[in-house]
């Protein structure tokens, strides 16, 4: 049994190891990649995986540690093979509050990036196999690119949330296109993949937004169905349950570890499994 300090060290070397691995196995399908890799040791030279998903009953991890968060993640039913949704052949990008699917999945999205970046998030996402989509503002992505790249290597996908995070509704096409395409260009340069999903700041949009998003490469624009803040899920419907296809919104804020855990528990209570939006919008 490893002592707590040693366990922390093991967790700390996990991401450099997977970063090294990803550089030689980069390819499509982040979630599948992460899950495949997670089935075995990160690399031949890396230490064995920390047995944090099945803690010994005699040595429970202390609340608030990475090991504790991982130990609290419920066991989900296996995710169904994704059936990608139908996209319009032409015209503006569709906007969805929830993904139009009956499959028993829900989606975790994390927005912004400039305010706070809890350091354990990448390891949590990696060790608990949490599929996440990050809607980032491009200046925050540029300033903290190493942080977001670590989450990307752990299985997360970077998507577009404009440059300046101002409301787009009512603004000219040229203004909206500059905000959306400008961020897409920067994120593509930083992460090597052009965003295919867009979320307007505050969810505020008009028909011009959907046209500009399409013209900048977005296949779909996403609102959300639940928000998560300081470890609490806020529902927009009275029955307080996550439905198939729901999109949960949280932010890069100080309580992101609690928000991720609360989202996972709510998805599990609903009998659903977390899945990756990009596996359904192709």
Tell me, residue by residue from 198 to 237, as one string, x for binding to Zn ion by CB under 5 A and - for no binding.
---x------------------------------------
Residue nearer to Zn ion on the CB measure, 67 or 159: 159
Residue nearer to Zn ion on the CB measure, 111 or 159: 111
Stretches 30-38, 63-71, 109-117, 263-271: which one binds Zn ion (CB under 5 A)? Answer: 109-117
Residue nearer to Zn ion on the CB measure, 112 or 278: 112
d(CA 260, CA 232): 10
Tokens 């491009």 belong to which residue?
138
CB of 181 to Zn ion, least distance (A): 18
Residues 50-89 that bind Zn ion (CB under 5 A): none
* 80 contacts 244 by C-beta, under 8 angstroms: no
Q: Which of 112, 152, 246, 259 binds Zn ion (CB under 5 A)?
A: 112
Residue nearer to Zn ion on the CB measure, 250 or 261: 250
CB of 112 to Zn ion, least distance (A): 5
Residue 259 as a binder of Zn ion (CB under 5 A): the answer is: no
CB proximity list for 163: less than 8 A, separation 6 or greater: 137, 138, 139, 178, 179, 182, 183, 186
Tokens 């998507």 belong to which residue?
159
61 to each of 94, 126, 130, 224, 257, how far by Cα in Å?
44, 18, 20, 33, 15
CB of 201 to Zn ion, least distance (A): 5
* 70 contacts 124 by C-beta, under 8 angstroms: yes
Residue nearer to Zn ion on the CB measure, 69 or 147: 147
**Full DSSP string of 171-231:** --HHHHHHHHHHHHHHHHHHHSS---EE--GGG---HHHHHHHHHTT-SEEE--SEEEETT
CB of 109 to Zn ion, least distance (A): 10
Residue 111 as a binder of Zn ion (CB under 5 A): the answer is: yes
* 66 contacts 124 by C-beta, under 8 angstroms: yes
CB of 117 to Zn ion, least distance (A): 15
Residue nearer to Zn ion on the CB measure, 65 or 178: 178
CB of 69 to Zn ion, least distance (A): 24
Task: List interacting residues with Zn ion (CB under 5 A).
Answer: 111-112, 201
């Amino acid at each position: 049994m490893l002592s707590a300090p040693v366990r922390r060290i093991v967790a700390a070397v996990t991401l450099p190891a997977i970063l090294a691995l990803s550089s030689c196995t980069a390819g499509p399908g982040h979630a599948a990649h992460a899950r495949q890799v997670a089935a075995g040791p990160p690399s031949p030279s890396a230490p064995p995986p920390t047995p944090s998903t099945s803690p010994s009953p005699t040595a429970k991890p202390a609340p608030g540690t990475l090991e504790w968060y991982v130990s609290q993640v419920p066991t989900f039913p296996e995710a169904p093979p994704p059936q990608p949704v139908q996209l319009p052949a032409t015209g503006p990008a569709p906007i969805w509050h929830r993904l139009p699917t009956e499959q028993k999945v829900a989606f975790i999205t994390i927005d912004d990036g400039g305010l706070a970046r809890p350091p354990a998030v990448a390891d949590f996402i990696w060790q608990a196999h949490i599929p996440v989509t990050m809607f980032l503002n491009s200046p925050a992505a540029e300033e903290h690119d190493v942080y977001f790249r670590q989450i990307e290597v752990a299985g997360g996908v970077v998507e577009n949330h404009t440059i300046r995070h101002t409301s787009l509704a009512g603004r000219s096409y040229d203004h909206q296109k500059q905000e959306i395409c400008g961020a897409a260009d920067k994120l593509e340069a930083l992460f090597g993949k052009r965003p295919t999903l867009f979320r307007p700041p505050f969810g505020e949009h008009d028909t011009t937004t959907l046209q500009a998003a399409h013209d900048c490469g977005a296949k779909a624009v996403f609102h959300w169905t639940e928000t998560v803040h300081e470890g609490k899920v806020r529902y927009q419907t009275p029955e307080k349950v996550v439905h198939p296809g729901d999109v949960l919104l949280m932010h890069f804020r100080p309580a992101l570890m609690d928000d991720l855990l609360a989202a996972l528990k709510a998805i599990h209570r609903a009998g659903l499994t977390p899945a990756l939006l990009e596996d359904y919008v192709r």
